[in-house]
Structure 1
Amino acid sequence: MVATLLRLRFRVLGNQLARSPWQLVGFLFGCVYGLGMLGGVVIGLVLLGSAPLDLASAVVVGVGALVTLGWVLGPILVAGVDTTLEPDRLVTFPMTVDRMMVALTLAGVCGIPGIVTSLATLATVATWVRTPASLAAWVVAAPLSILTAVIASRTMAALAVGLSGGRRFREIAGVLIFIPLVLAGPIIIAVTTGLALNIDTVSVAVEVVSWTPLGAAWAIPAAAAAGDFLPGLVKFLIAVGTVVILWVLWRRALGDALVRPRNAGGAAAKPGALGWFGRVPTGGFGAIYARSLTYWLRDPRYLRQLIVVPLVPIILWFYARGGDALGAVSWSGLLIALVIGIVIYADISYDGTAFGTQLATGVSGRADRYGRTLAAATLALPLTLAGTILPFVFSGEWTQAPAVLGASLGVLGISYGVCAITSAQFVVPVAAPGDNPFKRVPGVTFVQGLAFMGIWLVAIVLSAPSVVTALIAFFTGNAVLGLVAGLIGLVMGAVVFAAGMIVGGRTLDRTGPVLLSRLKAMRNA
């Protein structure tokens, strides 16, 4: 049965890639990236084989612990767990929970991250072949390291889903978990900078980590190479105990999830409670505006974008600390506009097959473009204004405000105009409402990132005249040039916005049925 499920896993993966050429490209890109990373790791491990034992131990144990931590946190913060064999869909198979867990573990090892991690772990033999004792310890430690990483990842996902009382809990958790991802750069830089100031701290930290579940398995060969057999035995027991505890936790969470599947339903609406639909004008524009605004206020897929807004000034201040931090924060409005102005490129993708209901009503493409864009602007415009004006309230440099304000509003208008056209031409794979927040389909992340970066690049290029002029005016203190920059931004933003509404509306009238067929294909993938 385990072999059957593994064959099913690769059959499902092949069908998914066959339906979407771009997803296949993303999958191949991930393979090439993984092989390149693996090649660099193998070269480094070979070189460590002739390095001093202390250095080799610190590098292997430290990096190995970070890899294990990445398996635990990566599914939450980055892309999710590959759920090609999702437990919910296996509940009807005639198999025990333990056998299902074995299949899911092997499926995790057979994915791109699992293959790269496994080969890199096996390549540590080049480092520990230096003594017979360390080589013998490696034979035991390498499988333990791989199992710890994969099972910890599965356990974390199962616990998070199993502990959730329903869809609302998962949505809130998904939004809150997004915060550490946004601040990951500053946090990593702060930690590495602090360690760089005191290099002795690194060896002490690695020694401490070697006694934890994250690093115990990786430290077994190092202890054997140093002749510390008793500490090595204790670390072996810690590693085995970690795998056993994770397996028990995963089994309990998975068993509960299979007996009591996740509640995908939403809360019941009160009779007569129309929400925004009762507060806007009737007609196609009003209905789309109300629906889109409801998404922005309640859908965690949109709320995750809004979380970035209050964090933008923090990030700018962090990277500019020691210099003109307040001056850097003055550009918060520009970055806020650039970030949340692009979100609506996936608006129709977030609709899913519900987009078919809109097509059936005969709403014009222009009404759709205006409704979705103005709903987004209802929140984005006040946030952009606040991010632009508040820094000048504290700095008092009001002569520089027109340049930044005009450029920021221009970026917002240009982003909306570009998205109005591009979102009427293609859709991208996105998470379904209430879906498993830890679900990832191979190749999809690359497609989403490619689409986002392409649209972002177009918006940046169109915004360049006003932004560059605003930067020159800001750093030279030229108030007249600042007014010119602000005017350029407002004019460019208005022109691109108007063009986007017209061209995007006409395009959507023509491509609506095609987009719906693609959405159905993605849903069935």
Structure 2
Amino acid sequence: MVAHLLSLKWRLLLNGFRRSPWQIVGIVAGALYAAGLVLSAVVGLVALRWADPQTAQTVVVLGGALAVTGWAVIPLVTSAADLTLDPSRFATSAIPIRDLLPGLALAGLLGLPGIATLIAALGTVATWSRGFVPAAGALVGAVLGVLSCVVASKVVTTAVSSLLSSRRFKDISSILFVIPLVLAGPIVTAVVGGVGDSRDYLPELAAVVSWTPLGAAWSLGGELDAGNAAAAGVKLLIALASLAVLGSAWYLLLGRAMVTPAYAGGGSGKAGKAGLFGIFPATPAGAVAARSLTYWMRDPRYAGSLVVVPLLPVLFYFIGSQNGNQDLLIVVAPMTAFLLAWSISADVSYDNTAFALHLATGVRGRDDRLGRALACLSFALPLVLLFAVGSAAATGRWEWLPNILGSSLGTLFTGLGLASVVSARWTSAVPAPGESPFKKPPGNTAQTLLVQFAGMGVMAVLLLPEIAMVVTQAVTGQAAFSWIGLAAGPVFGVGFFVAGIRLGGRWLDRRGPEMFAQLADNR
């Protein structure tokens, strides 16, 4: 049974290379990236052979503990667990769990994460190749450590299999995973600074972790190299006992999963509530605005773009703290206005086949454009105003507040007008409803990039009056230009907004069927 499961997993891996050429390119690129990381790790572990034993022990133990933690946490957070051999698929096969469990465990090693972890773990043998006994202990520890990684991952994913099968959980966890990616710069800087300030603390931390299930297996080579055979024996027992406990927990959870597979069906809803449709006016534009705002609130593809906005002040504050000048915070409001306004440039593409409702009901293009823009404006306007006032208060540069407000409002209204024109003429390859908001489907990628960059260029040209007032105030230092910018921004912005709604509406009236045909091609 073990050999059969391994052959199944191997066939699934090979089938990944029988897809479209671009998917093969993605797989190869991922494999090369993983190979680079593994090579760097192995080179570092080999170099540790000539390092101080305490330093080598600290790096190996803490690195191994992070590996075990990552295997247990990352699949849960990113919904990226390997479910190619999902236990629920064997529920009708009547396979004894004692035969299924070892096969699934070894099959978990087949794949980029498993192979990379195994190679890096074997690199610790080179670290402790200062003698036969430490190298042998490191080899045993590497095997136990890798098995602990795989089994810990299986325990977590099996325990939350019902959550992992839930589309809402996948969407939310994927969106939350973006937060540390966006804040990668501040996080890495803080970690590096913390490590630099606590070099003496890390060996003590590694010594404590080495007595826990996370680091016991990884510390065997170092203990034997130091001649601590008794400590190595105790830690070997800790590693074996931890693996046994994880295996027992997985055995029980696997038995429950085989009997009661996860159910991903939808829930029942209550009828009779109009929701946002009862708040917006009973007009075609109001109905479109209510539907669009409902998407903003419930569709993870829209929420994926919104999650970045609250993090912008953090990023700009971090950048300012590096040079001791927080004046860069005044850019937060115009940047937020641009991101939110431009986000509706692919609104029709996100509709997918639901755009047929607009065509079938005869909604005028002007009402369609206005409704989508009002939906975005309903939350973008308060947020932009809040960021504008907040940035002036944080920096103490109140003389810039009128210009910040003018440029932010001009950017918001101008961007909404331009996006209303762009989304009425071109479609983009976006994730389909129900897919991950960060999935990039194959499609008209070249056209999408060209339209996006060209649109941003046009946006910069339309914002020249606001930019001119900001530059003039910065050069002359005269506050009068700030008040001129406050007046110019809304005037030019609203003008471009009205023009964009009308032009986009006319284009949509003429090209509605062609737009729907393009949406079908992008699926």
TM-score bin (small chain): 0.7 to 0.9
Picking from 496, 504, 520, the partner of 1:516 is 520
Picking from 4, 10, 13, the partner of 1:10 is 13
C-alpha displacement of 1:356: 6.0
1:427 paired residue number:
429
- In 1, Cα distance between equivalents of 2:86 and 2:275: 35
1:180-221 Cα offsets, whole Å, 9 max, x none, are 555554344323312312321222222222223332222222
C-alpha displacement of 1:2: 0.9
1:211 paired residue number:
211
C-alpha displacement of 1:131: 1.0
User: Residue 260 and residue 511 in structure 1: after superposition, are their counterparts in 2 closer, same or farther (change >3 A)?
Assistant: same
- In 2, Cα distance between equivalents of 1:349 and 1:93: 42
Structure 2: 5+ residue runs without aligned partners? none
C-alpha displacement of 1:125: 2.7
1:39 paired residue number:
39
Tell me if 1:498 matches 2:504.
Answer: no
Give matches, 1:60-79, under 5 Å.
60-77=60-77
Q: Which amino acid aligns with 1:242?
A: S
Q: Secondary structure at the match of 2:269?
A: coil
Give matches, 1:465-484, under 5 Å.
477-479=477-479
1:349-371 Cα offsets, whole Å, 9 max, x none, are 75566566666656677765554
User: Residue 488 and residue 279 in structure 1: after superposition, are their counterparts in 2 closer, same or farther (change >3 A)?
Assistant: closer
- Which deviates the most, 502-511 or 332-341? 502-511
Tell me if 1:268 matches 2:242.
Answer: no
- In 2, Cα distance between equivalents of 1:455 and 1:243: 54
Structure 1: 5+ residue runs without aligned partners? 520-525
Q: Secondary structure at the match of 1:294?
A: helix
Greater relative contact order (Cα 8 A, min sep 6): structure 1 or 2? 1
- In 1, Cα distance between equivalents of 2:254 and 2:491: 55
CA contact (8 A) 2:430 2:440 kept: no
CA contact (8 A) 1:162 1:256 kept: no
1:227 paired residue number:
227
Give matches, 1:277-356, under 5 Å.
277-280=277-280, 285-321=285-321, 326-341=326-341, 343-344=343-344
- In 2, Cα distance between equivalents of 1:251 and 1:514: 50
- In 1, Cα distance between equivalents of 2:103 and 2:360: 44
CA contact (8 A) 1:133 1:224 kept: yes
CA contact (8 A) 1:77 1:178 kept: no
CA contact (8 A) 1:77 1:177 kept: yes
1:523 paired residue number:
none
User: Residue 84 and residue 216 in structure 1: after superposition, are their counterparts in 2 closer, same or farther (change >3 A)?
Assistant: same
C-alpha displacement of 1:132: 0.4
- In 1, Cα distance between equivalents of 2:242 and 2:506: 58
CA contact (8 A) 1:312 1:332 kept: yes
User: Residue 378 and residue 119 in structure 1: after superposition, are their counterparts in 2 closer, same or farther (change >3 A)?
Assistant: same
- In 1, Cα distance between equivalents of 2:65 and 2:455: 40
- In 1, Cα distance between equivalents of 2:111 and 2:133: 32
What TM-score do you get using the length of structure 1 for normalisation?
A: 0.78
C-alpha displacement of 1:134: 1.7
User: Residue 73 and residue 8 in structure 1: after superposition, are their counterparts in 2 closer, same or farther (change >3 A)?
Assistant: same
Q: Which amino acid aligns with 2:238?
A: I
Q: Secondary structure at the match of 1:81?
A: coil
C-alpha displacement of 1:400: 1.3
CA contact (8 A) 1:421 1:503 kept: no
- In 1, Cα distance between equivalents of 2:420 and 2:212: 48
Q: Secondary structure at the match of 2:120?
A: helix
CA RMSD of aligned residues (A): 4.4
1:389-436 Cα offsets, whole Å, 9 max, x none, are 223245553331244334444554676546974794332346827x8x
C-alpha displacement of 1:35: 1.8
C-alpha displacement of 1:49: 2.4
- In 1, Cα distance between equivalents of 2:299 and 2:520: 21
User: Residue 229 and residue 428 in structure 1: after superposition, are their counterparts in 2 closer, same or farther (change >3 A)?
Assistant: farther
- In 1, Cα distance between equivalents of 2:134 and 2:420: 57
1:299-346 Cα offsets, whole Å, 9 max, x none, are 445445444444433343344347656534333323433554555566
CA contact (8 A) 1:369 1:504 kept: no
2:125 paired residue number:
125
CA contact (8 A) 1:75 1:153 kept: yes
Work out the percentage of aligned pairs sharing the same amino acid: 34
- In 2, Cα distance between equivalents of 1:99 and 1:420: 61
Count of aligned pairs: 507
What TM-score do you get using the length of structure 2 for normalisation?
A: 0.78
User: Residue 475 and residue 50 in structure 1: after superposition, are their counterparts in 2 closer, same or farther (change >3 A)?
Assistant: farther
Q: Secondary structure at the match of 2:427?
A: coil
- Which deviates the most, 488-497 or 345-354? 488-497
CA contact (8 A) 1:276 1:294 kept: yes
Tell me if 1:244 matches 2:244.
Answer: yes
1:522 paired residue number:
none
CA contact (8 A) 1:34 1:116 kept: yes
Q: Which amino acid aligns with 2:40?
A: G
User: Residue 78 and residue 208 in structure 1: after superposition, are their counterparts in 2 closer, same or farther (change >3 A)?
Assistant: same
- In 2, Cα distance between equivalents of 1:253 and 1:341: 47
CA contact (8 A) 1:415 1:459 kept: no
CA contact (8 A) 2:352 2:433 kept: no
CA contact (8 A) 2:91 2:261 kept: no
2:138 paired residue number:
138
